[in-house]
Structures are given as structure tokens and as C-alpha cells.
Amino acid sequence: MPSPASFKVLSLIPPMTQLNTPYPSTAYLTGFLRSRGFDAGQEDLALATVLALLNNKGLTDLRDTALTLPVEERSGPVNFFLDHFNDYAVSIDPVIAFLQGRDSTLSHRIAGRGFLPEGPRFAALDAYDDDGTGDPIGWAFGALGQTDRARHLATLYLNDLADVLRDAVDEGFEFVRYAERLAASQPSFDALAEALAQPPNLIDTTLERLALQAIERHQPTLVLLSVPFPGSVYAAFRIAQCIKNAHPKIRIGLGGGFVNTELRELKDARVFDHVDFVTFDGGERPLLSLIEHLQGQRSLQRLQRTFVRNDAGQVQYINMQEPDIPFEEVGTATWDGLPLHKYLSLLDMLNPMNRLWSDGRWNKLTVAHGCYWKKCSFCDVSLDYISRYETAQASTLVDRIEQIVAETGQTGFHFVDEAAPPKALKALAEELLRRGVQISWWGNIRF
Ligand code: B12
Ligand code: SF4
């Protein structure tokens, strides 16, 4: 076993994933490492970046950037923002507080439609028939659904600002993905390398500042960058780049759903200009071995599912067979260190099912590891996160649930299994009933 002493791990969520609740990988890795006695911390740089851009000072910087654009290159959203800048400047901090659940009575003013500047995104409301009432969204919210109505309007307002960031700063910016095109279905590292060689824009400098502040706070030996989606790859590399420049001794690992799916044939050594290790699949086993290695207790050749750049400058895959950490023993995810009261409950689409994606701070948890079904013809069922189906006892799961509720004070759970496993869910439901644990939960089934 690696000695936990003086080894500090910092797990980071790069922009963008989602804004209403943290993506769970750092919570899983941090909970696991702490269960093994390590000093582990985590930060959500996706939320932090958005909050740093969307406040009075951030919008002033955005206006200054937008004003540098030649007049003929300013898009509709940019012109609207510049024309109504003062309305944005006074409303942004209250709107963020409202969406964070800190100022609920603001809903009256927002829903009254006199408070927010209504940019191009509000045109979507014209698509609905108001039946002569003058209220095009009355059908969705009725007379009393004022908080939800205000949340929807505030979301349109933020979407207008996201469009300004896209048009004035970076064409790849969106709230749930960032520069996705640079990583999605890219045959090579060229597009990313080229983008990373560009001078940093307003979003990059904000992200870099926040990343370096996180490093100062945590003083890590090892940084783990988790990239679940193509829309968080570019920012992960920007973070790695600035950490390497400022703190060349810090080791950096890259992993997560995108890596597990898209980087299995990794050949381009330039990736290792920015990160030191790329690992696949369930992070627990590779991470323990990696830490042992960095502490001088394990040779490089005895790592699991890890790509490195060897002394000859070539990409080398190392995978010494060793059993994975069973799902029963991965510990309980922890949200400690993440600013749970700062997430934004957005109401993007007027569809009761879709609102679950972006509204509310759900605790994310897996009921099992892998997929119980493994029969879809289009699916690569050889991947570990699908093929290795492992359950935990219902009592272990409910222990985890109780611990998470005690830690976060919140009782909503999103079960993020690839495909919700009916048998395990039934056992879980029975154990919840037996203990009288009151939670709300939802998950995804696959047709
Ligand atoms: C639940 C889920 C969703 C949900 C919730 C998303 C969310 N924001 O939380 C919904 C349905 C909304 C969704 C949407 C999308 N998803 Co999705 N989703 C999943 C799913 C099934 C589980 C994710 C999860 O929470 N896992 C639990 C966590 C704890 O696991 P994990 O992140 O993999 O972390 C573990 C390891 O990877 C590793 N690890 C992670 N980071 C690191 C870092 C280091 C350094 C190390 C050592 C290890 C490590 O350790 C962790 C613990 O073992 C995965 C498939 C899967 N089974 O993983 C797809 C998956 C992540 N999604 C995927 C995609 C593409 C998307 C979308 C982009 C689809 C789209 N085109 O819109 C969107 C993006 C949405 C967004 N911006 O939030 C892909 C990503 C891979 C790829 N092709 O790039 C996956 C892998 C599915 C697939 N095979 O296609 N998704
Ligand atoms: S349910 Fe999902 S993970 Fe399971 S086999 Fe089908 S596509 Fe693959």
C-alpha cells in the first residue's frame, strides 16, 4: 500500500460539464482516496469559470473585449449586450443569486418581465401562442408557477450572455460544452495543439487564474484532470498547460469518460507535453498504482491501464494485470470541497423530463459498475465501464446514500448508471423502505 503521508492529490473538473450540480468523477476519486487515508481535494473549475465570467466585473471585461471587435463583425447578441450593458451590469449579480437559490423573492421582478434585458434568446417565447392573454408561457407555468417562470426567463438571459461569450470571445463556448469541436471525432491532436498554441482569450485567462489559485490553495503533488466529454477536453489541456508552466514539478494525470472511449488508441506524444499520465476506465486501481509509483514504491512497468511517454519520447501503454478495486470497496463519493450552494438551477427547456438535467442539485451516484444488459448491437461492450458489471450489497448502497445526505444535506439522487439495473434498484428500494430513508431518485434506462 502507498503511504499516504505528504502526498496530496487535487482532482479538477474542467469546463464545461453542467452548472446545476457537480459532475461526479472527482467526488468518486476524492472519496476513494480519502477512504485509503490520502489527503485529497477537489475543485469544479467549470462552475468557477462561469461564476467568474458572469458577475458585474466579469461583464465589464466582456464588454471591453466586445468593444475591440470591428463594428461590422459584431453579432446580434453582441450588439444587444453592448446597447443594454447597464441593464446587464445591474442585474447579473442578483440573477446569479436567484438561480443559486439565495434570493427567491426576486422571482416577482423577473417574472414581471420588466427587470431583465430581453435579448435574442427571448424570441423563442414568440413561438408560443398566447391565446390573446399576452402571456406566451402561461400554458407552462400557470398563475402560480412564478419561481419556475422566473427561472426560465433568467436562463434565457444567461443564454444570451453565453452567446455573447461565444461571438465576442470564443466561438466554441457554451454552458454545457466548451470547444467541443476540437476533440469530438478528431483523428489527430493537431486541432487541439493549434488551439493551445494561441494566445489565451478572456475565458482562457479566467480559467488559468482560477486553476493557479486552486494549486495555491491545495499545494498538490498530483493533479487529476477528469474529462467526461469532448466538451471538456480543450479546457483540461489549457489547465494542464498553465500548471506545467508555473509548477513543472506537479505531476498531471488525465482520465474520464472521453479518455475511456476516444483515446484508447492514443499515439500522439504531444499529449504528454501537457500531461504525464493518461489512464483508462475505473480510476481507482490505476490511481493507487500511479501514486505508489510516484512515491518510489512501484516501477513504471507495474502500472495499470496507463499511457506514458517513455525515455525514447514514444507513447507507451503499460498494463500489468492486477485486479480492479471491487465496486463494493470503492468507498463513498464525497462532495466535500465543492461549493454546493453556488450551483445554478437552470430551466432551459419547457419539458418536465428535460428539466431534471439542468434544474436542482442532484447527488450523483452509481448503483452498480458497468452495464447489466450488454446486448445492444451498436455498443462497444468490451469497454470496462460497460462489460465489468459489479454490484454492491443494497446495504452498502444505502450506507453510501445516508452518508451523502448527511454530508450534503440534500436528498435528491441521480443514478448515473449507463443503464439503470432493475434487480439492483429493486433491492435498493427495499432497503430504503426497510430503513425508512426518504430520498428522491431518478436514472436512465436505455431502449
Ligand atoms: C450519466 C451520463 C450522462 C448524463 C449526465 C451527464 C452529467 N453531466 O453528469 C447525461 C444523459 C445528461 C449525459 C449527457 C452527455 N453525455 Co454522457 N454519460 C453518462 C454516463 C452513463 C455515466 C457518467 C457518470 O456519471 N459516471 C460515473 C463517474 C464516477 O464515472 P467516470 O466519470 O467515468 O469516472 C471514473 C473513471 O472514468 C475514472 N476517472 C475519471 N476522471 C479521471 C481522471 C483521472 C486522472 C483518473 C486517473 C481517473 C479518472 O475514475 C472515475 C471513478 O472510477 C457515461 C458512460 C459511463 N458509464 O461512464 C456517459 C458518457 C460520459 N457520456 C458521453 C457523452 C458523449 C455525453 C454527451 C456529450 C452526449 C451529447 N452529445 O450530448 C452529453 C454531455 C452532457 C453534459 N455536458 O453534461 C460519453 C463520453 C465519451 C465520448 N464519446 O466522448 C460517455 C462515456 C458515454 C459514451 N460511451 O458515449 N451523460
Ligand atoms: S444499455 Fe447502454 S451500455 Fe448497455 S449494452 Fe446497451 S448501449 Fe451498451
pLDDT digits (tens, 9 = 90+) for 315-335: 999 999 999 999 999 999 999
CA of 33 to the centre of ligand 1 (A): 20
User: Cβ contacts of residue 417 below 8 Å, gap of 6+?
Assistant: 366, 367, 368, 371, 443, 444
Cell 453592448, located at residue: 82
User: Cβ contacts of residue 8 below 8 Å, gap of 6+?
Assistant: 39, 40, 41, 218, 219, 220, 221, 222
Residues with CB under 6 A from ligand 2: 371, 373-376, 379, 381, 386, 418-419, 446
Return the pLDDT at 3. Answer: 52
| Rounded (10°) angle between helices 56-67 and 202-218 | 140
Q: How many CA atoms lie within 13 A of 41 on its CB side?
A: 16
Return the pLDDT at 134. Answer: 85
Nearest Cα residue to atom 8 of ligand 2: 379
Return the pLDDT at 5. Answer: 57
pLDDT higher than threshold 80 for residue 446 = no
pLDDT higher than threshold 60 for residue 1 = no
pLDDT band at 74 (very low <50, low <70, confident <90, very high): very high
Average pLDDT over residues 105-122: 96
Of the listed ligands, the closest to the CA of 447 is 2
* Stretch among 128-137, 214-223, 388-397 having the lowest mean pLDDT: 128-137
263: left (phi over 0), alpha (psi -120 to 50) or beta: alpha
Return the pLDDT at 383. Answer: 87
Average pLDDT over residues 94-120: 97
Burial track 250-268 (b if 16+ CB lie within 10 A, e otherwise)? bbbbbbbbbbbebbeebee
Q: Say if CB 111 and CB 150 are below 8 A apart.
A: yes
Average pLDDT over residues 162-187: 94
Return the pLDDT at 145. Answer: 87
Query: Are β-strands 390-391 and 368-369 bridged in parallel, bridged antiparallel, or unpaired?
Result: antiparallel
| One-letter amino acid for residue 177 of the chain | R
Residues with CB under 6 A from ligand 1: 17-18, 23-25, 28-29, 176-177, 224-226, 228-231, 253-258, 260-262, 279, 282-284, 286-287, 357, 364, 366, 385, 416, 418
Q: Which residues pair with 127 in a beta bridge?
A: none
Calculate what percentage of the chain has a pLDDT beyond 90.
Answer: 86
Peptide bond into 16 cis (omega under 30): yes
Return the pLDDT at 4. Answer: 54
Q: Average pLDDT of the chain?
A: 95
Domains of the chain: which residue ranges?
1-349, 362-443
Return the pLDDT at 384. Answer: 86
Return the pLDDT at 106. Answer: 97
* Stretch among 20-24, 282-286, 382-386 having the lowest mean pLDDT: 382-386
Of the listed ligands, the closest to the CA of 378 is 2
pLDDT digits (tens, 9 = 90+) for 89-100: 999 999 999 999
Single pTM value for the model: 0.96
Average pLDDT over residues 192-215: 97
Task: Quickly list DSSP for 169-214.
Answer: T-TTB-SS-BSGGGTTT-SSSHHHHHHHHSPP-HHHHHHHHHHHHH
Average pLDDT over residues 300-322: 96
pLDDT digits (tens, 9 = 90+) for 6-59: 899 999 999 999 999 999 999 999 999 999 999 999 999 999 999 999 999 999
Return the pLDDT at 186. Answer: 83
CA of 414 to the centre of ligand 1 (A): 13
pLDDT digits (tens, 9 = 90+) for 333-372: 999 999 999 999 999 888 888 888 899 999 999 999 999 9
446 or 164: which leads in pLDDT:
164
CA of 257 to the centre of ligand 1 (A): 5
pLDDT band at 144 (very low <50, low <70, confident <90, very high): confident
Return the pLDDT at 354. Answer: 83
10 Å CB burial of residue 59 (0-12, 13-18, 19+) is buried
Return the pLDDT at 130. Answer: 81
Nearest Cα residue to atom 74 of ligand 1: 229
Query: Are β-strands 306-309 and 315-318 bridged in parallel, bridged antiparallel, or unpaired?
Result: antiparallel
Measured from the Cα of 183, ligand 1's closest atom is 84
Residue 360 in grid coordinates: 436542482
What phi and psi values does residue 373 have, to the nearest 5 degrees? -95, -60
